[in-house]
């Protein structure tokens, strides 16, 4: 059974553990979505330990074989949402839009007792559900995200349905700031504001980067706080590497409006050598020549 209460220090320890585990994956495999772990570790650790009101996991303890994309012959797979517990009127729902953050989600689930730590050995192994890019059969994922910008609409639709039913549980959606360049995201925020979805919380890892590099060099998004408010949402900004600040921001009162929590982060936090690669950190590759430097960081963690 997962632990129900965590101190700030325990949550920070989980965040540190997440970074170390995913740096270890990068060292073994030569690369992975390491910068996303560096930027989001405190955010995701805080959500799982201090913010989300989830039921006990009903997901399998160990990694599961997954033969392929669901079809008529493969419809009995376990959905990733099982790791967040059975849906209930008073429980929260958690959607992960940035599906390339899957390794962070798996590590967090393992840290809070919802998934076996040994399941991480199957990460990105063909034929298993521990995908590098999370999908609806991956632990912790409600849906297959498809193009970025779609999951937030699914989450908002769920929040709308739950509000109409009178559920007291909230709906959270984890996003990256790169997907705020998608038009569908802003259509969703506008609709959520119109329908007064005060049970809906968007948590954004605002690390300033996307696949082509720095966001400001591709398509400027700022001022994000003003934009969210103009589209009908409440919006607060916090230091995404401060556990207490993330928790406070997610607790912001927002009557009759959805809430956007902008967590300002850096994609090289905890792994200093990554700063030399900034802003091209979307998928980090560690060459043989670089391994000793990164190994030293890992050993010191």
Domains and their CATH numbers in the chain: 8-66+79-300 (3.40.50.970)
Chunked mean pLDDT (size 10), the chain, 301 residues: 79 98 96 96 98 97 85 75 97 97 98 97 94 95 84 97 98 96 95 98 96 88 96 98 98 98 98 96 95 97 95
Burial of 119-149, coded b for 16+ CB within 10 Å and e otherwise, reads bbebbeeeebbbbbebbbbbbbbbbbbeebb
3-state secondary structure of 18: helix
> What pLDDT is recorded for position 72?
62
DSSP for 105-116, written as a single string: HHHHHHHTTSS-
**257 Cβ contact partners less than 8 Å away, ≥ 6 residues apart:** 193, 196, 197, 198, 232, 233, 234
Q: What is the pLDDT of residue 96?
A: 97
pLDDT at position 204 is 98
Q: Specify the pLDDT at position 73.
A: 63
Cα torsion 187, 213, 249, 132: sign: positive
Query: Could you tell me if 84 and 54 are in contact, meaning their C-beta atoms sit under 8 angstroms apart?
Result: yes
pTM (two decimals): 0.95
Per-residue pLDDT, 67: 79
Please report the pLDDT score of residue 1 as a whole number. Answer: 44
């Amino acid at each position: 059974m997962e632990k129900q209460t965590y101190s700030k220090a325990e949550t920070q320890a989980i965040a540190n553990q997440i970074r170390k585990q995913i740096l270890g994956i990068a060292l073994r495999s030569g690369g992975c979505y390491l910068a996303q772990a560096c930027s989001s570790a405190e955010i995701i650790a805080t959500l799982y330990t201090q913010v989300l009101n989830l039921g006990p996991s009903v997901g399998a303890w160990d990694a599961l074989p997954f033969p392929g994309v669901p079809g008529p012959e493969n419809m009995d797979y376990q959905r990733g949402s099982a790791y967040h517990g059975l849906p209930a009127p008073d429980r929260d729902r958690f959607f992960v839009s940035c599906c390339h953050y899957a390794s962070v989600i798996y590590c967090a689930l393992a840290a809070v007792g919802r998934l076996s730590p040994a399941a991480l050995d199957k990460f990105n192994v063909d034929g298993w559900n521990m995908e590098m890019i999370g999908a609806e059969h991956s632990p912790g994922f409600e849906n297959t995200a498809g193009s970025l910008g779609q999951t937030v609409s699914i989450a908002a639709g769920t929040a709308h349905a739950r509000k109409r039913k009178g559920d007291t549980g909230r709906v959270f959606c984890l996003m990256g700031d790169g997907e705020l360049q998608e038009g569908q995201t802003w259509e969703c925020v506008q609709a959520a504001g119109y329908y007064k979805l005060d049970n809906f919380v968007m948590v954004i890892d605002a690390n300033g980067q996307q696949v082509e590099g720095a966001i400001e060099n591709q398509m400027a998004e700022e001022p994000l706080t003003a934009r969210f408010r103009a589209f009908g949402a409440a919006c607060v900004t916090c230091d995404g590497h401060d556990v207490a600040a993330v928790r406070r921001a997610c607790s912001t009162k927002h009557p009759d409006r959805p809430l956007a929590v902008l967590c300002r982060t850096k994609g090289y936090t905890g792994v200093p050598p990554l700063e030399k690669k900034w802003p091209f950190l979307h998928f980090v590759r560690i060459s043989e020549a670089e391994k000793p430097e990164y190994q030293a960081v890992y050993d010191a963690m």
